[in-house]
Structure 1
């Protein structure tokens, strides 16, 4: 279906309205998310008197007040064999006829499936309204609403089957969470910012906020209230600037003119988000209880704004822990809420984090996935397939997490958590990842990072050649280094040093000698390793070192360690359980990969064949035709046990991708390459929540996929896991 088209019917820029903005954002999100399978076109809803200059994406224009135009449009769509699906945006007032009845004949005549998005669902409908909505639903293949509340109104008051309804929340933009990082150079830094934005009209009831302002300013004189946006074009046509003039005069009458700033402009998205990032509390004061959804409220929350809102359904679903609801036109209630929040900085910070966690599933990337997954459902008989667009490689979060000493371990959302300190685990991964990036890009900024991570590893090496793992932010070692088994950490350090040495074009001779000395110093510590994962990490390090400098001693060590893995395999494997242990736990893919690399070095068919047998067994448990699901971190997976499909961490997908790359390079079986790409798609949304794990805005990777949510922290392990995976994929990105 390479030449298939999806047609979006909606108001569309340069027309100024919320649905036009929504539709543009949705199309941009879908096109940025997917690279093949379909193209998107637009049918713009227009008025008879309008002469708007639309972009090339707009291939049809519907004059909504002309009934004949609906029949003509349906006919043209039906004759266009490339159009396979229609997305139609519905709002009362968009379409001609009583309650938009002109739309009904169009839907009846349309021969391609249509998915209708209801932006408003009116409660307590009369018989006429109920009949019209039911007819629209009857002609539609699926219905989209933006809140669970709207879905229940359709079910209970319109008698619509829930099977035909999909809830896809209003999309929001990912941002760098600046609220978590204090910036003393930002505008208004000394002010407490309250803000409202959007096309201004009387329905927004901004006077409610103005009436609350004197009480707020009495306690917090540094408050500044930003009223952002032009007056709605339809309001301008009907009454000019009467409402704006009323607000400006009220500001003067209240003596608040030094505490209110009107920004009477159409702002670009980026400038708008910049304002919201600088906002302490977002005020949503709509007096319309029938307003189902607010894009402005959603956008504010996406920037981490705590919200004070009237109780529309959207805010009631979202604000638990992320803001406060107050009654319609209740300025005293608004003032109480603002004073409560402003007097509690700790509460405000919790609300910032809660807002980000609440709103993250609604990112436009996730909305794009939800829309296309629904399209797949509707077009199931046509075997409709898609391909994600691979994000550009970014080291932004890696750099954010790195100091002059090393890469920090954890983050709070995207903000580095200094209290978590450093680990050799993460800095070993960082050395490999950034060195691979430098090999690919030649970006000389990487060299400073490479030197930082290498020095950290050398800092952790002890006199006996072993490595300590945990280091405090003040560069002191944690006591737990002496209480925990550090075999795996030592194995990762040896892997990193060995792989770094194999990148000979990166290393000056003096540095090469320094790293080689550290590598050789560590070798006596690996002879008595018990952990199969530590053994495997060391085999990988020795394999790469062998590429750097072939030696009989290295081959002997590789053989000794690989024999250990073979012994473990023979001790527990059976016809039904082709593995090294009686269970699967973490870093599973490293074991067969290490055995494969040992076989390549030693030319041992035993090592290579056992590696392939065990890896294929692992893949049979983690890769089915529907979705990829690695072994959970909830607990180990014993033979015969049902696999848990949540508690998934990016590191397991990275290990799997690295192993798939090694097996494909050796055996050239296309199934390994297909599985590699499918495994990487987990980061981009092909998981049981259909949500992104990689954040393209921060360059970070979320820390885990749980049963019903994603851990939004973007720590070192997860971010490096994605980066290693993305770098591995690059050679196949053609």
Structure 2
């Protein structure tokens, strides 16, 4: 009988990193009919079409799904009842996706589950508020196993929170299978500076993901202003819609501010904000065509970045600010890290990669070495192994 996985998470059509993560992991686990899954989708409010009644979707793997609406204990109770028919439940944790102060409604959900649970932590704060610490300590105590997606997050969790170390393990964020095999480019002609006769294709720098304050795109734009001397000129593409929560509360203020910055810096011909939705094949083509991926994030806390994982898995040289996940993943040579909010340093990092084909090729080779362990298929195997271990342990206890 196929293993039955339950999931508690945001989920498409919701647009956020956790929704994409869950859809990808569920798809990898159920590929080939080897497992089934049931999705309990987290919502801030009930969809208009389903208000007043249970919202049941098709789910994944032929099992179906339900919605959990923040502040509505009836939807939580229905979801718990269905999830307890699974063999194991994978719970995504981020403070902002559950109802209640600091998402404390997650504690009632975990308390109602009678099957083994795997909690996946997308954020581990170094300085949580008192209530955030209470919530996360409760989550850790209720979980059968806890997954962090970087060694940095693992260390931070063990040193900063009350948790049984035997519960905690590291499984990387996955990357699409379509990015493999990883191409390792041959050396390309060196880019010249203004006034030279160098002829080559226009180098493309790419940033992608949902847009909003904290992404640091403004520093990437400012960096382009420091690279105007390069010939041919660099083309910087920022691909991604505005994050739905940002759009709800702030509209397009951030994107419009970026566009004004582009115009003030006379970069309209070389910096492009691509705001339309890009399906998977279109985004894959855009990533494949990029010469460098730029992640100029403001956060100094970020221990997980799906875009960073996908960039490395695609064999692309990366220039990133020194957020923890970048420092860890790029230490093997797949990219370089630069100070936060420092367009001069960002520009220098990009210049090094773009003007040195040998450096770019060595970064791609380092990425290729890391890539196989980042495929969703490889990640799913680790989750399946962990689930089997928890189920076996639960059987021993029950006996």
Shift of 1:260: 1.2
Aligned length: 373
CA distance in 2 between partners of 1:91 and 1:126 (Å): 14
The corresponding residue for 2:38 is 41
Task: Go from structure 1 to structure 2 and tell me whether the alpha carbon gap of 1:112 and 1:74 turns closer, same or farther (over 3 Å shift).
Answer: same
CA distance in 2 between partners of 1:332 and 1:50 (Å): 46
TM-score by length of structure 1 reads: 0.49
CA distance in 2 between partners of 1:75 and 1:59 (Å): 12
Task: Go from structure 1 to structure 2 and tell me whether the alpha carbon gap of 1:71 and 1:251 turns closer, same or farther (over 3 Å shift).
Answer: same
CA distance in 1 between partners of 2:363 and 2:45 (Å): 46
Task: Go from structure 1 to structure 2 and tell me whether the alpha carbon gap of 1:154 and 1:222 turns closer, same or farther (over 3 Å shift).
Answer: same
Task: Give 3-state SS (helix, strand or coil) of 1:62's partner.
Answer: strand
In structure 1, runs of 5+ residues without a counterpart are 184-188, 385-734
Q: Residue 179 of structure 1 contacts residue 277 of structure 1 at CA under 8 Å; is this kept in 2? A: no
* 1:308-707 to 2 correspondences below 5 Å: 308-320=319-331, 321-381=333-393
Q: Residue 85 of structure 1 contacts residue 113 of structure 1 at CA under 8 Å; is this kept in 2? A: yes
CA distance in 1 between partners of 2:353 and 2:59 (Å): 47
Task: Go from structure 1 to structure 2 and tell me whether the alpha carbon gap of 1:138 and 1:324 turns closer, same or farther (over 3 Å shift).
Answer: same
Deviations 1:87-125 (A, max 9, x none): 111111100111111111221122111111011111123
Shift of 1:44: 1.0
Q: Residue 184 of structure 2 contacts residue 365 of structure 2 at CA under 8 Å; is this kept in 1? A: no
Deviations 1:564-611 (A, max 9, x none): xxxxxxxxxxxxxxxxxxxxxxxxxxxxxxxxxxxxxxxxxxxxxxxx
Task: Go from structure 1 to structure 2 and tell me whether the alpha carbon gap of 1:112 and 1:48 turns closer, same or farther (over 3 Å shift).
Answer: same
Task: Give 3-state SS (helix, strand or coil) of 2:206's partner.
Answer: strand
CA distance in 1 between partners of 2:48 and 2:136 (Å): 31
Task: Go from structure 1 to structure 2 and tell me whether the alpha carbon gap of 1:217 and 1:50 turns closer, same or farther (over 3 Å shift).
Answer: farther
CA distance in 2 between partners of 1:77 and 1:28 (Å): 18
CA distance in 2 between partners of 1:50 and 1:329 (Å): 39
Shift of 1:237: 1.1
Higher strand share: 2
CA distance in 1 between partners of 2:329 and 2:371 (Å): 8
Of the three residues 181, 185, 189, the one matched with 1:180 is 185
Shift of 1:4: 4.5
Of the three residues 116, 119, 123, the one matched with 2:119 is 116
Task: Give 3-state SS (helix, strand or coil) of 1:180's partner.
Answer: coil
Task: Give 3-state SS (helix, strand or coil) of 1:6's partner.
Answer: strand
Task: Give 3-state SS (helix, strand or coil) of 2:207's partner.
Answer: strand
The corresponding residue for 1:233 is 244
Task: Go from structure 1 to structure 2 and tell me whether the alpha carbon gap of 1:227 and 1:3 turns closer, same or farther (over 3 Å shift).
Answer: closer
Task: Give 3-state SS (helix, strand or coil) of 1:44's partner.
Answer: strand
The corresponding residue for 2:162 is 159
Given the alignment of the two structures, is residue 74 of structure 1 paired with residue 80 of structure 2, yes or no?
A: yes
Of the three residues 202, 205, 212, the one matched with 2:213 is 202
The corresponding residue for 1:85 is 88
Of the three residues 107, 128, 131, the one matched with 1:104 is 107
Task: Go from structure 1 to structure 2 and tell me whether the alpha carbon gap of 1:4 and 1:169 turns closer, same or farther (over 3 Å shift).
Answer: closer
CA distance in 2 between partners of 1:56 and 1:368 (Å): 18
Deviations 1:356-378 (A, max 9, x none): 21233111111010000000110
Shift of 1:179: 4.9
CA distance in 1 between partners of 2:12 and 2:95 (Å): 19
Shift of 1:177: 3.1
Deviations 1:644-697 (A, max 9, x none): xxxxxxxxxxxxxxxxxxxxxxxxxxxxxxxxxxxxxxxxxxxxxxxxxxxxxx
Deviations 1:424-461 (A, max 9, x none): xxxxxxxxxxxxxxxxxxxxxxxxxxxxxxxxxxxxxx
* 1:56-71 to 2 correspondences below 5 Å: 56-57=59-60, 58-71=64-77
Shift of 1:382: 7.2
Q: Residue 204 of structure 2 contacts residue 235 of structure 2 at CA under 8 Å; is this kept in 1? A: yes
Shift of 1:73: 2.7
Task: Give 3-state SS (helix, strand or coil) of 2:65's partner.
Answer: strand
Q: Residue 71 of structure 1 contacts residue 105 of structure 1 at CA under 8 Å; is this kept in 2? A: no
Of the three residues 202, 205, 221, the one matched with 2:232 is 221
In structure 2, runs of 5+ residues without a counterpart are 50-54, 189-199
CA distance in 2 between partners of 1:249 and 1:221 (Å): 24
The corresponding residue for 2:192 is none
The corresponding residue for 2:197 is none
The corresponding residue for 2:19 is 20
Task: Give 3-state SS (helix, strand or coil) of 1:379's partner.
Answer: helix
Q: Residue 67 of structure 2 contacts residue 75 of structure 2 at CA under 8 Å; is this kept in 1? A: no
The corresponding residue for 1:681 is none
The corresponding residue for 2:195 is none
The corresponding residue for 1:273 is 284
Shift of 1:77: 3.5
Q: Residue 116 of structure 1 contacts residue 144 of structure 1 at CA under 8 Å; is this kept in 2? A: yes
Task: Go from structure 1 to structure 2 and tell me whether the alpha carbon gap of 1:48 and 1:28 turns closer, same or farther (over 3 Å shift).
Answer: same
CA distance in 1 between partners of 2:14 and 2:119 (Å): 21
Shift of 1:63: 0.5
Given the alignment of the two structures, is residue 50 of structure 1 paired with residue 53 of structure 2, yes or no?
A: no
Shift of 1:166: 1.3
Task: Go from structure 1 to structure 2 and tell me whether the alpha carbon gap of 1:167 and 1:231 turns closer, same or farther (over 3 Å shift).
Answer: same
Given the alignment of the two structures, is residue 292 of structure 1 paired with residue 285 of structure 2, yes or no?
A: no
CA distance in 2 between partners of 1:253 and 1:66 (Å): 48
Given the alignment of the two structures, is residue 135 of structure 1 paired with residue 138 of structure 2, yes or no?
A: yes
Shift of 1:127: 3.5
Q: Residue 190 of structure 1 contacts residue 222 of structure 1 at CA under 8 Å; is this kept in 2? A: no
Q: Rg: which structure is higher?
A: 1
